[in-house]
Amino acid sequence: MGVREAKYRIAKWKAKYETSSKGKRRKLRPETEEKIKIAFIKLVALENAVKDILNETGVSTTMYVPYLAFGKEIYGLTRRHSGDELNMAIESVMAKWLGRRLDKAILEKIKKRVLGHRISKVKTV
């Protein structure tokens, strides 16, 4: 199960954004497009990092989807919250996915990787 490349995601998002329901084309500002590019590049790198953890721990490929969803959800929280609020939100998300019978040790590894995940230099697509 491969992860879609960032340039594919960017093109798909841009096409959807620029097409409106009334047939008018919207123009995307260059700084917005650059932010979107960086966000998708980071997301692809994060998904690959989570898949590496799943490969290392021997998780069945049928279980990749929920673990990737958990990683994306934690990543989303890090973009919106910080400090104690982030920690409380993460605990809530952990409880949700533990309730869905995912392995706690693997979830902890993914959480640690997501929270420590930094891309020092992002090259544009």
Region 43-60: mean pLDDT is: 94
Using 50, 70 and 90 to split pLDDT, how confident is the model at 8?
confident
The tokens describing 112, both together, are 């640690």
Task: Provide the pLDDT confidence category of residue 119 given band limits of 50, 70 and 90.
Answer: very low
Closest CA to 64 of 103, 118, 6: 103
Query: Which single residue is written with the structure tokens 């409380």?
Result: 88
pLDDT at 10 over 90: no
Better pLDDT: 84 or 120: 84
Tell whether the model's pLDDT for residue 83 goes beyond 70: yes
| Least confident piece of the model among 23-37, 51-65, 75-89 | 23-37
Give the pLDDT confidence score for residue 121 in this predicted structure.
42
Is the pLDDT score of 56 beyond 90?
A: yes
Rounded-to-integer distance, Cα 113 and Cα 68, Å = 12
Helix (H) / strand (E) containing 86: helix 83-99
CATH (residue range 6-116) = 1.20.58.800
Calpha distance 28→17 (Å, rounded)? 8
State phi, psi for 25 to the nearest 5 degrees.
-95, 130
Residue ranges per domain, the chain? 6-116
Assess contact for 42 and 122: CB atoms under 8 A. yes
Tell me what pLDDT residue 36 has: 87
What's the DSSP call for residue 4? P
Q: 19 forms bridges with which residues in the sheet?
A: 25
